[in-house]
Amino acid sequence: NAGVTQTPKFQVLKTGQSMTLQCAQDMNHEYMSWYRQDPGMGLRLIHYSVGAGITDQGEVPNGYNVSRSTTEDFPLRLLSAAPSQTSVYFCASSYSGTASPLHFGNGTRLTVT
């Protein structure tokens, strides 16, 4: 009963490097989303998906790309990392959007130097 699995747990990047944060869920949830958590600012939505092949932008999408080729996976790509992207990133899934409880992964702590 894995739920939502995020990898890696920690990552350090240099400015300009690219990387992909992985997210997988085994609950057959249609809705998946990525948030970033910054001190005092709560969680802000980066991108979300309401099903395989469908993605949309959230509140803070710049500098990030997503794709949803399968129901299970929703990777988040940083194209050219910047110090402003230092944050904790959470992936979440739910059965039917925000009306259903969101199930969160344990987060990825990213530092960009």
Partner 1 sequence: GNSVTQMEGPVTLSEEAFLTINCTYTATGYPSLFWYVQYPGEGLQLLLKATKADDKGSNKGFEATYRKETTSFHLEKGSVQVSDSAVYFCAHDNAGNMLTFGGGTRLMVKP
16 versus 53: smaller Cβ distance to partner 1: 53
Question: Which residue ranges make up the site for partner 1 (CB under 8 A)?
Answer: 4, 31, 35, 40-45, 48, 50, 56, 58-59, 90, 92, 97-99, 101-102, 104-107
The residue (of 44 and 77) whose beta carbon lies closer to partner 1 is: 44
Residue where the block lists tokens 């600012």: 41
| Whole-number Å distance between alpha carbons of 19 and 58 | 20
In the chain, the amino acid numbered 47 is H
Q: How far is the CB of 91 from partner 1 (least distance, A)?
A: 8
| Two structure tokens written together for 80 | 């050219």
Q: What are phi and psi of 71, to 5 degrees?
A: -65, -35
Between 15 and 57, name the residue whose CB sits nearer to partner 1.
Answer: 57
Name the token pair of 12.
């350090």
The CB-side HSE value for 71 (13 A sphere, CA atoms) comes to 8
* Least distance CB 56 / partner 1 (angstroms): 7
* CB of 8 or CB of 101, closer to partner 1: 101
CB of 80 to partner 1, least distance (A): 25
